[in-house]
Copies of this chain bind each other. A is one copy, B any other.
């Protein structure tokens, strides 16, 4: 199916071809496509194409702005490059081992929105943060709850995370204190990358999702639960989240994931018409969360309550425009089972049920800990579409 050697079980087979930004030595950062454990250096390979300049950029934004017809044409071109043996001699000089480069942030993030679309996660957090009330608030099944996060602190996978400090107040304390968070956590999410902008004052219909969204990245939305719990009323999370959000380096296109779509779980009560569609889907993506190398959770994306197309339709229903480089994330992905929870808050049940990591009891993150999230989907014919990984290690507070 391709003339390129691809290691067994690689996330990046010949049907995937995700795009990212790499830096090789002192050369200018530019666009590459991942295949197996190599990168196709697209700027020189594309030099005879009209759109070749978009691949010589230090971010994917110029490519993303081209829009869906160009995304599709690029995918067809890339598929032919790797499938057709006639291209071998032309392309082989431009294959670079992934191990020889540094992967950078794949795009400049415009606005970053974080949703809250897993019923299991929202229910768990409701039980933990508001133990005396219904776990789901009254609006939760009527609209995909979301809020804006900090775009300027979205960082590339591998960026070390300095333990944040801030105000915390336990219920038993009289007053807040200042210091490093004692409840540093992760959130396993899928992030959607907007390519084509919309117009201020108009909305994006559920059906038009693929005209605006190019693809997905893995997201780890690091969270400081003690800071968040004290600050979040009435205007929502702020410093408990804004210190860092890590994303994976490879943007996997919606077209590559097309065959992994599965129907959305039933929505009851019925949603309002602007959120309704006969074709609401999730991707059959399974995440793997490794804490210092040990697999601790396998959140399933197919159980998410709200589809990404509904998230975008809701985000824009008030006329808010989207821009090239907008990132909106699903919110923490948690499944029904304990070993499918996408945050340590849930896995350790608020810190009350430690889990064993390499023989040590853990609740929240300690300095030096490393978390790596990988994910992949499998098509009905058995083809694996991997999303790569997002990883980060905790540094002590400054």
- Identify the A interface with B (CB < 8 A): 110-111, 113, 116, 126, 129-130, 137-139, 142-143, 145-153, 155, 162, 164-167, 169, 175-178, 200-203, 224, 227, 230-240, 242-244, 269, 272-274, 314-315, 317-323, 326, 395, 398
Contact = CB atoms under 8 A, between A and B. Distances in A.
Nearest to A272: B178
Nearest to A234: B137
Contacts of A113: 238
A2 B232 CA distance: 51
A142 B152 CA distance: 26
Given A139-B231, A149-B148, A151-B151, A164 B239 contact: no
A239 to B, nearest CB: 4
Interface hub of A139, A175, A320 (most chain B Cβ within 10 A): A320
Contacts of A200: 153, 155, 162, 244
Chain copies in the assembled complex = 2
A201 B153 CA distance: 10
A137 B126 CA distance: 19
Contact of A238 (B147, B150, B244): B147
Which 5 interchain pairs have the tightest Cβ spacing?
A236-B236, A164-B318, A162-B201, A148-B148, A147-B235
B319 A165 contact: yes
Interface of A is mostly: loop
A166 to B, nearest CB: 5
A146 B164 CA distance: 17
Contacts of A233: 137, 139
A25 B116 CA distance: 47
A320 B153 contact: yes
Contacts of A232: 234-236
Given A230-B139, A314-B239, A111 B152 contact: yes
A235 B116 contact: yes
B116 A166 contact: no
Given A142-B176, A239-B317, 18 more contacts: A111-B152, A126-B234, A138-B169, A142-B167, A147-B237, A147-B238, A151-B151, A153-B321, A162-B200, A162-B201, A166-B318, A203-B398, A224-B318, A235-B236, A236-B236, A239-B314, A244-B319, A319-B398
A129 B234 contact: yes
Nearest to A114: B235
A166 B146 CA distance: 14
A110 B269 CA distance: 38
Contacts of A240: 318
A237 B318 CA distance: 13
